[in-house]
Amino acid sequence: MTSREELAPAARRAATGTPAAEDAFPGWRIVAVLSAGQIVSWGVQYYAFPVALTTITADTGWSTAATTGAFTAGLVVSALAGIPMGRWLDRFGPRPVMTAGSVLAAASMAAVALAPSLGWFFAAWLVAGVAMSATLYQPAFAALTGWYGPHRVRALTALTLVAGLASTVFAPLTSLLLEQLSWRSTYLVLAGVLGVATVPLHLMGLRRPWPGAAAAAAPSAPIERPGEIGGPAPASDGAVRAVLTSRPFWLLSGGLTLTAFGLYATSVTLLIPLLTERGMSASLAATTLGLLGAGQLLGRLGYAPLTARTGPATRAVVIVAASAAAIGLLAAVPGPAWALIAVAVLVGAVRGAGTLLQATVVAEEWGPARYGSLAGAFAAPITAAAALAPFGGAALTDIVGSRTGALTALACLVAFGTVLVAAAHGGRRPGEPLSAGVGGEQTVA
């Protein structure tokens, strides 16, 4: 099995005489810098909030729904802001974008801590959403895609594995701070940690020349079928717009959006209540949720071997179909406890693989040129769906009258996502070779 990214270096060397040494793995320094930044950025901007929620509502008198709504609004803003952020990443590179984002992130977390009213609390989280779009996974994915080229899957896998430690580090750290300080002081301390750690990391650690800058500025000749999966490089603004308005692009994004909604609604809203309904103790149910996180690590570790054995079309269909099956199994399996735990780990595994699928699919299907612009738009509905999924899962449970029914409906929704992903490939059989891609790159099954 020869992938598009494996063929591309050979094609470039044949055309330009570039030595093979330039295709060597660039090293782990950039991965380490970005991974450390992701742990702190995710830990402070995302994982600290659920730990502090009860303390915030008890101190302020704000309702849980309103307080959570502010946080969710910030996540939705991060999805929308990711679209222009992707264009800036293509043009300026990760260093200025992520450094400025880190400054804004620290300031917004301080604003959350100092918010005198619920309205100001909402406003602070809206600003935080902009900062998230410049500091969390999407800009890090763009950085590794641009700098690591054919080695991006290896680099992205390492990044997501290490970044998965964010909750492990910052959930107990936040809890410890809350035992000693008020929630406002806790957030001020966390804002300081965020600024002191991530601003110098991104400013000093991301100094590598950005290969995307020249591609973003350079004109390109007219191209055929720019929106078709596996089609030519979207190097010009017009070609990028053609991809962004193409049917395959939005079918694929739509399929992954439905998948994200189903998986996040299942794991965040429905899993623990379902397990206690089926006889598990609260502590065992919570442990099972933790094992779901371990399943994500397994899914990410398994993604690289999957890429070696499948083409992009097969991989996307397999992961989305497996997501539907995992949710369906959770609805169908009544017990015993070990079986429910195994299914929960499976849900985590497909969710972990889905993170890497989202990170790699744009570059695999449309090439790495202008990745930021394409991935920002591609990920926007996916990120919004993940943010709204907890509310959606609760609402769906109320509509259908049971958690089992809600899971069945979610499994059907994700199964429809499989249809969308398959349709994005224009009726090709999973694994069938795609047409010529970026700079003559191909995928050969």
**DSSP-assigned letters across all residues of 120-157:** HHHHHHHHHHHHHHHHSHHHHHHHHHHHHGGGHHHHHH
Cis before residue 433, ω within 30 degrees of 0?
no
Residue 201 covered by a domain: yes
pLDDT in tens, 63-119: 988 999 999 999 999 999 999 999 999 999 999 999 999 999 999 999 999 999 999
The answer to whether residues 376 and 305 belong to one domain is: yes
Mean pLDDT over each residue of the chain, to the nearest integer? 85
The helix, strand and coil proportions of the chain, stated in percent and rounded to the nearest 5, come to: 80, 0, 20
Q: Which of 16-20, 27-31, 112-116, 283-287 has the lowest mean pLDDT?
A: 16-20
Domain shared by 370 and 288, yes or no: yes
User: Per the structure block, which two tokens stand in for 257?
Assistant: 């959006």
Q: Band of the pLDDT at 369, cuts 50, 70, 90?
A: confident
How sure is the predictor about 214, in pLDDT bands with cuts at 50, 70 and 90?
low
Q: For the stretch 219-256, what's the b/e string if a residue is b when 16 or more beta carbons lie within 10 angstroms of its beta carbon?
A: ebeeeeebbbbbbbbbbbeebbebbbebebbbbbbbbb
Report the pLDDT averaged over residues 157-165.
Answer: 90
- Clarify whether residues 161 and 118 are in a common domain: yes
Say if 332 falls within a structural domain. Answer: yes
The residue from 161, 186, 217 where one domain ends is 217
Q: What is the model's pLDDT at position 213? A: 55
Crossing angle of helices 137-148 and 337-366, rounded to 10°: 50
- Are residues 256 and 213 located together in one domain of the fold? no
Most confident of 40-54, 99-113, 266-280, 357-371: 99-113
Q: Is there a single domain that holds both residue 203 and residue 141?
A: yes
Verify that 182 and 263 share a domain, yes or no. no
The amino acid that residue 392 corresponds to is G
Same domain, 165 and 74: yes
**Separation between Cα atoms, residue 360 and residue 429, nearest integer Å:** 20
Query: 145 is written with which tokens?
Result: 């895609």
**444 φ, ψ to 5°?**
-115, 120
Print the domain residue range for 192.
27-217
CATH code of the domain covering residue 92:
1.20.1250.20
Query: Same domain for 325 and 356?
Result: yes
Sequence-distant (6+) residues with CB within 8 A of 242 are 226, 227, 234
**Rounded CA separation 150/23 (Å):** 8
Angle between helices 247-264 and 403-424 (to 10 degrees): 160
Residue 171 predicted with pLDDT over 90:
no
302-353 confidence digits (pLDDT tens) = 998 998 888 888 899 999 999 999 999 999 999 899 999 999 999 999 999 9
One-letter amino acid of 312: P
Contact 108, 131 (CB under 8 A): yes
* Residue 193, in any domain of the structure: yes
Q: Is 207 helix (H, G, I), strand (E, B) or coil?
A: coil
**Higher per-residue confidence, 397 vs 439:** 397
**103 vs 101: CA distance, rounded Å:** 5
User: Would 69 be classed as within a structural domain?
Assistant: yes
Least confident range from 49-63, 109-123, 234-248: namely: 234-248
* Range of weakest confidence among 193-197, 235-239, 411-415, 420-424: 235-239
Among the three residues 164, 182, 217, which one is the final residue of a domain in this structure? 217
* pLDDT confidence of residue 308: 86
The answer to whether residues 251 and 191 belong to one domain is no
Has this prediction a pTM greater than 0.75? yes
Residue 17, in any domain of the structure = no
Indicate if the pLDDT at residue 427 is higher than 80. no
pLDDT of amino acid 101:
97
The total domain count for the chain is 2
CB atoms within 10 A of CB 442: 18
Same-domain check for residues 200 and 318: no
Cβ distance 356 to 157 under 8 Å? yes
- Give the whole-angstrom CA distance, residue 224 versus residue 231: 8
Share of the chain above pLDDT 90, in %: 64
User: End-to-end distance of the chain based on CA atoms, in angstroms?
Assistant: 6
Helices 29-42 and 118-135: crossing angle, nearest 10°? 170
Q: Rounded to an integer, what distance in angstroms lies between the CA atom of residue 163 and that of residue 161?
A: 6
Q: Is the dihedral of CA 298, 291, 360, 127 positive or negative?
A: negative
pLDDT at 283 over 80: yes
* Closest-CA residue to 199 (of 107, 82, 123, 75): 107
User: Residue 357 contacts by C-beta under 8 Å, 6 or more apart in sequence?
Assistant: 256, 303, 315, 316, 319
Examine residue 4 and state whether it is found in any structural domain, yes or no: no
Assign 381 to helix, strand or coil.
helix
Q: Is residue 338 part of a domain?
A: yes
Picking from 251, 65, 31, 19, the residue whose alpha carbon sits closest to that of residue 158 is: 31
Same domain, 342 and 385: yes
CA atoms within 13 A of residue 108's CA, in its CB half-sphere:
27
Are residues 413 and 277 part of one domain? yes
445 within some domain: no
Other beta carbons within 10 angstroms of residue 427's beta carbon come to: 7
Indicate whether 256 pLDDT > 60.
yes
Instruction: Give the residue, 72 or 222, on which the prediction is more confident.
Output: 72
**Among 171, 188, 217, residue at a domain's last position:** 217
